[in-house]
Amino acid sequence: MKEETRILHEIPVDELTGAISVPIYQTSTFVQEAPGVNKGFDYSRSNNPTRATLEKTIASLENGSQGFAFSSGLAAVDAVIKLLKAGDEIVAVDDIYGGTFRAFEHIYSKFGISVKYVDTTDVTNVIDAISRKTKMIWLESPTNPTLKISDLSSIAEIGKDLLLVVDNTFASPVLQKPLDLGADIVIHSGTKYLAGHSDVIAGLVVVGNEELAEQIKFNQNASGAVLGPFDSWLTLRGITTLQLRIEKQCQNAQHVAEFLSTCSVVDEVFYPGLVAHHNHDVAKQQQLGFGGIVSFSLKDDSIEAATKFATSTKLFKLAESLGGVKSLLCHPASMTHKSTPEEIRHKTGIKDSLIRLSCGIENCDDLLDDVNQALAAITYGEVVV
C-alpha cells in the first residue's frame, strides 16, 4: 500500500464493537478473572488499550519493533537516557533542542552522564568525538532550529557498537525513517507533526529490536510518565491526516524559504530544500521531502529587530511549539533555546535575530503576504513578493 493508505488503515477498527474510531478507554484499572489473569491489561500506567493502539501505529509507521507513548517529548527523552549509567558518554549534535540540552546539562550530568556536542553534519567530527566512554550518539536531523542535516546512514555505519538515537520530530515518519537508515531508537515530540493540531502534549519512542523494547518498556512503567487515553486518541486522530498535512506544509515552507532568500533585509535562510543549504544532497537522498520549518536571520542581528518581526505577523502566531495546522513562529534565543548559554547558541548558528517559522496549511500566498508585511515593519519600507 502507498503510505497515505497505510497510515489510515494501520489504525484498526475496534474488534469489540466495530467502531471505526478507536475507543477511549478512560479507566485506571481493569477487572481480572483471577489474580494475575487478565485480558492483557491490569493498570493503565502499565498498559492501556487506546495507548497500545497508538504505540503499535507509530511502531509500524517507523518500521520498528515496538513503540512507546509518553506524557511529553522530554519524558520520551528521559526514558531513553535511562538506558545509560554513570560514566557513560553521549556524542550529540551541537544544534540540539533547548529542552534536551537543559536535561543533559542540568539533570543527567548530576548522575555522571557526560555529553560532547559536535557539528554532526561532518561525519569526521563524529568519528573524532567518539571515545572509550561513548555509548550513544544523539542526532536530530533536521535540527532545531537551524535545520542541520546529518548523514544518518554514514553515522550509523561508524557507530555500529553504539546506540544511535535520532529525534525525527521535524521530518516525521512520512518524510524519513531513521531505523531504515541504521538508527536504533527514534524519538518524536508527538505534540508536533504527529498530533498536528496544537492540542496535545505527547512523546513517542520507537525501537528496532526486542531487547531495547524490553528496556524502554521497563523505564516507561517504572518512571510512569505515560500518555493518557484521551491524549493517545487525539494523537491517533492527528496521524490519520499526517500525509496530507505534511505535503501542504512542505510546499508552503519551500515557497517561504525561496521568498526569504530574495529579501534584502534577510541575512541567512535555513531550509534543506534550498540547493544552497549545507547537506542539501544528503537531505534529498534520505528524506522524501524537506519539511515545514524555515528559519532565517536578519542583517540587523538584534533581538529588537527579531522582536519587531515576531510581533508584526498576523497569520504566523508567536508561540512555542511547531507542526500544527496553523502557522507559528518563535524567537529561539528568547524562547525555545533561552536556557542555552549565549556563547553556545551563537557557536551553533542561533543568532540573536534568528526566527523559526512553522508553516501550516494556509494558502501559500497569504503566508507570503504575512511574511512580506512583517519584514516591511522592520524597515518601515516596502518588501515586495
The CATH number of residue 312's host domain is: 3.90.1150.10
Q: Does residue 95 belong to any structural domain of this protein?
A: yes
User: What separation in angstroms does the CA of 303 have from each of 96, 122, 238?
Assistant: 21, 30, 35
b/e burial code for range 232-260 (CB count within 10 A of at least 16 → b) = bbbbbbbbbbbbebbbbbbbbbbbbbebb
Alpha helix segments (H runs only) across the chain: 3-10, 49-61, 73-81, 98-106, 123-129, 152-158, 172-175, 210-223, 229-239, 242-260, 280-286, 303-310, 342-347, 364-379
Q: Of 94, 167, 184, 370, which residue is the catalytic one?
A: 167
Residues 265, 139 within the same domain: no
Residues 25, 174 within the same domain: yes
> Total structural domains in the chain?
2
Residues 191, 107 within the same domain: yes
45 as an active site residue: the answer is yes
Q: Of 116, 177, 192, 245, which residue is the catalytic one?
A: 192
148 as an active site residue: the answer is no
Q: Are 361 and 350 in contact (CB under 8 A)?
A: no
Residues 42, 187 within the same domain: yes
CB-based contacts of 9, cutoff 8 Å, min separation 6: 1
List, for residues 192-248, the tens digit of each pLDDT value. Answer: 999 999 999 999 999 999 999 999 999 999 999 999 999 999 999 999 999 999 999
Residues 70, 219 within the same domain: yes
pLDDT confidence of residue 151: 98
- Among residues 102, 72, 87, which one has the least CA distance to residue 136? 87
Domain containing residue 97:
3-239
Residues 27, 100 within the same domain: yes
Residues 247, 144 within the same domain: no
Q: Of 97, 108, 117, 193, which residue is the catalytic one?
A: 97
Q: C-alpha grid cell for residue 259?
A: 521568498
Residues 191, 283 within the same domain: no
Residues 282, 264 within the same domain: yes
The CATH number of residue 209's host domain is: 3.40.640.10
DSSP H/E element including 66: strand 66-70
Q: Helix (H) and strand (E) counts for the chain?
A: 14, 12
Q: Of 42, 45, 56, 135, which residue is the catalytic one?
A: 45
Domain-ending residue, one of 194, 216, 239: 239
Strand blocks (E) in 87-200? 89-93, 114-118, 134-140, 163-167, 185-189
Q: Does residue 384 belong to any structural domain of this protein?
A: no
Rg, C-alpha atoms of the chain: 21
CA 197 remoteness from chain centre: 15
Residues 185, 206 within the same domain: yes
Domain-ending residue, one of 239, 274, 290: 239
Domain-ending residue, one of 239, 268, 294: 239
List, for residues 315-348, the tens digit of each pLDDT value. Answer: 999 999 999 999 999 999 999 887 788 888 888 8
- Listed as ranges, residues in the chain with pLDDT below 70 are 380-385
pTM over 0.85: yes
Residues 217, 290 within the same domain: no
